[in-house]
Amino acid sequence: MSEIQANQIINPTPATDGAGVKLKRSIGVEPNYFDPFLMLDEFGSENKEDYIAGFPPHPHRGIETVTYMLAGDFEHKDSTGGQGKMTAGDVQWMKTGSGIIHSEMPAMKEGKLHGFQLWINMPAKMKMSKPEYIYINADQMSVHKDDEKKITVIAGKFENAEGPIKKHNIDPIYFDIELKKEKEFSFQIPSTHNSFIYLINGEIRIGNQNHDKVKDSKLILLTRGKNLKVLALSNAKFLLISGKPIGEQIARGGPFVMNTKQEILQAIEDYHSGTFVK
């Protein structure tokens, strides 16, 4: 059985998005694309000035956005009529398809806000499909817990804990893992998948080969393989995210990701002409 190793360790890049929300961006900078993943942002601050302006109404086409809240409150509204207030532990999984306009605004005036947004590409045959909005409350999440670890399963399956996202074209795995010091997390991942770990806090070692120190707010791209082993050198919290590559050419234009430049130009034209939302 092939062992999965740390392939590349990346420091996220400070960035701003929306109306000035400060965040740490990893996928979407270098690497620009880790098929099928287009972007990964960590947003988090106890200073309201870093997040209070939020993400006013903006469009998307051709991607899925997955927002996972760890602390604080966000309010979502979109052009399909979907709306909800996200709180700690909630997930918003939005398939934008042919086009959606949405906003994500803080539903708090002070305190700590912390979460992640992941962009997943959609295959050409699904890019112009009907938008779909999936809201998952924290209490709907399946959790595995033992003396060594706690695993919240958003997508995929760990032992008897299975995530609410099923029958997805990339067969995603999305785990939030809390691992105690000197304990090991082991898991088998399909060898077809591209996988990464995002370390939120603590220090970990991956696989059985020596690699640079991995501590706090790091993106770790993993090699292909089957058997993943992660050792916690201190109490650690990290995301494990994995998916089957789509393998198609992409064209990017801000909030739109299609297969050709012409399709990007069409998305821009549709948005400005008022025909974007079908």
In a domain, residue 153? The reply is: yes
In a domain, residue 278? The reply is: no
Q: What residues have CB less than 8 Å from 166, skipping those under 6 apart?
A: none
* H helix or E strand, kind and range, residue 20: none
Q: Measure the CA–CA gap between 128 and 258, rounded to whole angstroms.
A: 10
132-136 and 91-95 as β-strands: parallel, antiparallel, unpaired?
A: antiparallel
pLDDT tier for residue 26 given thresholds of 50, 70 and 90: very high
Enumerate the H helices of 90-151 as residue ranges: none
* Domain count across the chain: 1
- For residue 59, how many other CB atoms are within 10 A of its CB? 19
| CATH number of the domain where residue 193 is located | 2.60.120.10
In a domain, residue 90? The reply is: yes
In a domain, residue 26? The reply is: yes
What does the pLDDT look like over 242-253, one tens digit per residue?
Answer: 999 999 999 999
Q: Measure the CA–CA gap between 11 and 27, rounded to whole angstroms.
A: 10
Q: Measure the CA–CA gap between 268 and 100, rounded to whole angstroms.
A: 13
| Residue 31: per-residue pLDDT | 86
pLDDT tier for residue 77 given thresholds of 50, 70 and 90: confident
CA distances from 6 to 35, 45, 198, 202 (A): 17, 28, 12, 16
In a domain, residue 1? The reply is: no
In a domain, residue 192? The reply is: yes
In a domain, residue 105? The reply is: yes
Tokens representing 35 are 């098929």
* 66-80, 165-179, 227-241: least confident range: 66-80
100-106 and 55-60 as β-strands: parallel, antiparallel, unpaired?
A: antiparallel
Domain with 110 in it: 6-273
Tokens representing 173 are 């795995």
Q: What residues have CB less than 8 Å from 64, skipping those under 6 apart?
A: 93, 94, 95, 96, 119, 120, 121, 122
Looking at residue 72, what DSSP letter applies? S
pTM: 0.95
In a domain, residue 32? The reply is: yes
| Residue 1: per-residue pLDDT | 58
